[in-house]
Structure 1
């Protein structure tokens, strides 16, 4: 079953990179008592994700936060080292939390997995964005057209805030 507006996010653990190396964080730590914009991509460094989806959130991070958002996070079915490299290469480090969902546990719990085996990528996440308040999904924008980042992009999130 796919998550929808009004649903609580499932309990999950993500890998993140810290100054001391890889660590874990949970949905409770990330979302409890906060308003968070979360967006997901099929893969770090993939063309649409790297060139179209992430840049809007990096560019508009301050504007999004000015609208009452406590945090912005991106999740992908990649390992923590890839997500860390992507954070640094994209100028997103320090502006956005980069969450590694390496085994797609969170993605599958949301019901938003994508079979990208035809591209040699295995199970990935659908492209989406959401506004989450205290762990509850307020808006959910799932991209219908592969290779686009419009319904789930920063501009749409800004319209919804």
Structure 2
């Protein structure tokens, strides 16, 4: 599939997360993002160096500003299970607004056309690093990285587009 781009409607898909009682919950992206302005950020994997120190943290740091500018939801998606995503979320005690969703089998990354095969590094199929600004399911801004780069998908790049 061709990569998602500006003007496209995001594909529907189901992601998972752990609720407050550690039960797996399922969320439809279309139900979650309908009639909202949402930032979706995709990362190569939970606990990976750039994702921790730069990508996700950039959104956590300015999440209040993003909310003030009209963003309803900020979600981080990774090809990990919901238990890993929950544990990773707990490493950001200052996080109040970024939700961590799991795409355990890279199904949603594939639906977006943003999967990357990192099998040669022992990582299997993952998601490319990206940030999307979505308004009522339609992509308004798409910042998609190549490989493991981190040059265009930070929160600072997205906020400039608001």
Relative to the length of structure 2, the TM-score reads 0.94
> 2:82 and 2:147 mapped to 1: Cα distance?
27
Secondary structure of 1:89's counterpart equals coil
**Aligned residues of 1:37 and 1:129 also touching (Cα < 8 A):** yes
**Aligned residues of 1:36 and 1:72 also touching (Cα < 8 A):** yes
Using the TM superposition, give the Cα deviation of residue 22 of structure 1 relative to its aligned residue in structure 2, in angstroms. Answer: 1.3
Structure 2 counterpart of 1:64: 66
The count of aligned residue pairs is 160
Structure 1: gaps (5+ residues): none
**Aligned residues of 2:60 and 2:97 also touching (Cα < 8 A):** yes
**Aligned residues of 1:76 and 1:99 also touching (Cα < 8 A):** yes
Using the TM superposition, give the Cα deviation of residue 61 of structure 1 relative to its aligned residue in structure 2, in angstroms. Answer: 0.4
**Aligned residues of 2:133 and 2:141 also touching (Cα < 8 A):** yes
Structure 2 counterpart of 1:17: 18
Structure 2 counterpart of 1:33: 35
Using the TM superposition, give the Cα deviation of residue 144 of structure 1 relative to its aligned residue in structure 2, in angstroms. Answer: 2.8
**Aligned residues of 1:58 and 1:91 also touching (Cα < 8 A):** no
Structure 1 residue runs of 4 or more that deviate by more than 3 Å after TM superposition: none
Structure 2: gaps (5+ residues): none
Structure 1 counterpart of 2:78: 76
Structure-to-structure mapping, 1:32-111, within 5 angstroms: 32-91=34-93, 93-111=95-113
Structure-to-structure mapping, 1:131-142, within 5 angstroms: 131-142=133-144
RMSD of aligned Cα (Å): 1.2
Relative to the length of structure 1, the TM-score reads 0.95
Are 1:8 and 2:3 counterparts? no
